[in-house]
Amino acid sequence: MSTLREYLTHKRAALLARREKPADGPVPLRASVTAEGRSGVRRIRIREHQIISDSAADFAGYDLGPGSPELQAGVLGSCVTHIFLIKAAELEVPLDALSVDVSATYDPRAQAPGESGIPVHPQDFRYVVKIDSPASDEELARLHAEVERVCPILNLIRNPQDIKGEIVRA
């Protein structure tokens, strides 16, 4: 049976190999989302993968997948988890188990007329990392500090940027 420590050995080898031949520059990221006609289900396509996003029944959905604010919490958890794996491999911090729980709040009343004081975005993000490791508290604190320093999605939420949008007739 393969263990997380064995995986970290493979992750470290991949990380070191990737550093041998760094990328030429920024890597484009693309996603395409289509709303289905009869259900309103959103099909998110990224490379060869598909994720379904939907609303709960009380908002004319079929609850076939998480809503966008829930997906954001999941994306943060996925990124924090992945960066913990990368940094654990890089710093050679042994991990036997790793999980991340993310919570946030979202108030749908923000979209109602006259509710201008309520933020329209998820807020109060928090994450809890559960680690089983023989590493010292100091090693885990260093690992956590490195994750906080380089996690792309964590830092995007902390340091938002301008996003440009446009409409094109189909």
Q: How far apart are CA 119 and CA 116, in angstroms?
A: 8
Query: Which tokens hold the place of 27?
Result: 């890597």
pLDDT tops 60 at residue 1: no
pLDDT value for 166: 95
Write the burial class of residue 133 (CB in 10 Å: 0-12 exposed, 13-18 middle, 19+ buried): middle
Which residue would you say has higher pLDDT here, 165 or 110? 165
pLDDT at residue 2, as a whole number: 63
Give the best-scoring range by mean pLDDT among 101-110, 142-151, 159-168: 142-151
pLDDT over 90 at 98, yes or no: yes
Distance separating alpha carbons of residues 32 and 51, to the nearest angstrom: 11
Separation CA 65–CA 111 (nearest Å):
21
Per-residue confidence (pLDDT) for residue 108, from 0 to 100:
82
Who has greater pLDDT, 38 or 86?
86
Tell me the mean pLDDT in the region 19-47. Answer: 91
In this prediction, residues 46-72 reach a mean pLDDT of: 91
Q: What is the mean pLDDT of the chain?
A: 92
Instruction: Over range 137-142, report the average pLDDT.
Output: 98
Output the CA–CA distances (angstroms, integers) from residue 120 to 1, 15, 108, in the order listed. 46, 38, 7
Q: Which two tokens mark 1?
A: 């049976």
Mean pLDDT of 128-138: 97
Closest CA to 76 of 151, 11, 145, 142: 151
HEC profile for 29-83?
CCCEEEECCCCCCEEEEECCEEEEECCCHHHCCCCCCCCHHHHHHHHHHHHHHHH
Per-residue pLDDT tens over the stretch 58-69: 888 888 999 999
All residues at 6 or more sequence positions from 135 whose CB lies less than 8 Å from its CB, including other chains: 93, 94, 95, 143
Confidence at residue 114, expressed as pLDDT on a 0 to 100 scale: 77
**pLDDT class of 150 with cuts at 50, 70, 90:** very high
Greatest pairwise CA separation for the chain in angstroms: 58
